[in-house]
Amino acid sequence: MMNVLVTGGAGYIGSHTVACLAKQGHTPVVYDNLCFGHRQAIEGVKFVEGDIRDRDLLRRTIREQAIEAVIHFAAFAYVGESVIDPGKYYHNNVVGTIELLEAIRAENVQKIVFSSTCATYGEPTTIPIDENTPQAPINPYGFSKLVVERALDDYAHAYGLQFAALRYFNASGCAIEGNLGEDHTPETHLIPLILQVALGQREQITIFGDDFDTPDGTCVRDYIHVDDLASAHVAALERLSPGTRWKINLGTGQGYSVREVIDSCRRITGHEIPAVDGPRREGDPPRLIAANDLAKQLLGWQPQHREIDTIVNSAWQWMSRHPNGYEAG
């Protein structure tokens, strides 16, 4: 069992991973500046409020908490914003991660699991996407994650760092146990946006493009439940060993279209959920589906919540009880 520093651990995926770590007998220590995270999501967990770029505080936290490994989530993750304000993304996502790597190197911590993304692939021409697919990100967010992957390689080569970079697809759903959820401001994920219509917080959901080369003309994505993401991070952490330099996709290996997700939300909520067609968004590929064979092989991992109705239901159970997020109690 390890003392694990979880940067960004008060955020959506981070908080679910913190819960999974504790359940598996590890001792998580959350390090978060609460820019997007929520204290309510990590009640009862040791917490340090701090910026990922504060190397001195990171080093002090690592020493005082006897940290043995790191799971690194802390990052800005809004694709559109990264195009408008790339400096913010490079400074936080890239410079911040280098500060973290220097801190753990100085304190002789050798294990790190990094939250990467399928956005490093850009617009792939082959589906499903495996780990050998060329990485050609089309926005600063995706490129910032790719830069970190390259830095991890270099740190592993030079300093013996053990790492797993987990490239995941569409994180979705809320804790099956019902105690943790998704609470973003602004919200950009499809499922909670649709459910906000069911809650009366939005008038309708807009479908961006209905003429893609897909069965119903709308984009198809690989939705992976947040509890499955959490378990994969813990599995990766527990399997790190000298020489480990993994880059692994996390997805279910199956896709659902925007219309299929809307229909699922209608079934689960019993609400009509008006939908309107809008223009395509620039850079939206028709399909993004993961090949997850490597995760199964290296991590002994299988997604447990693959069906879209299961994913949507977990989100609806959370959102219907917490219509204003964590602030609603």
**pLDDT at 50 exceeding the cut of 80:** yes
Polymer length in residues for the chain: 329
Q: Which of 75, 54, 58 is nearest to 67 (CA)?
A: 58
Q: Are 224 and 310 in contact (CB under 8 A)?
A: no
Neighbours of 28 (CB within 10 A): 25
| Environment class of 327 (CB within 10 Å of its CB; exposed 0-12, middle 13-18, buried 19+) | exposed
pLDDT tens digits along 98-125: 999 999 999 999 999 999 999 999 999 8
With pLDDT > 90 as the criterion, what percentage of the chain qualifies? 92
pLDDT tens digits along 259-296: 999 999 999 999 999 999 999 887 788 999 999 999 99
pLDDT at 80: 87
pLDDT average, residue stretch 228-248: 98
What average pLDDT is seen over the chain? 96
* Coil vs helix vs strand at 302: coil
pLDDT at 306: 94
Catalytic residues: 141
Q: Which of 247, 253, 312, 258 is nearest to 285 (CA)?
A: 258
* Coil vs helix vs strand at 30: strand
For residue 245, give the H/E element and its range.
strand 245-250
- Considering the entire predicted model, what is its pTM? 0.96
CA distance 302 to 156: 27
Q: Backbone dihedral region of 201: left (phi > 0), alpha (psi from -120 to 50 degrees) or beta?
A: alpha
pLDDT at 136: 95
CA distance 82 to 221: 21
CA 204 to chain centroid? 26
**pLDDT at 179 exceeding the cut of 60:** yes
**pLDDT at 328 exceeding the cut of 60:** no
pLDDT at 41: 95
**pLDDT at 329 exceeding the cut of 70:** no
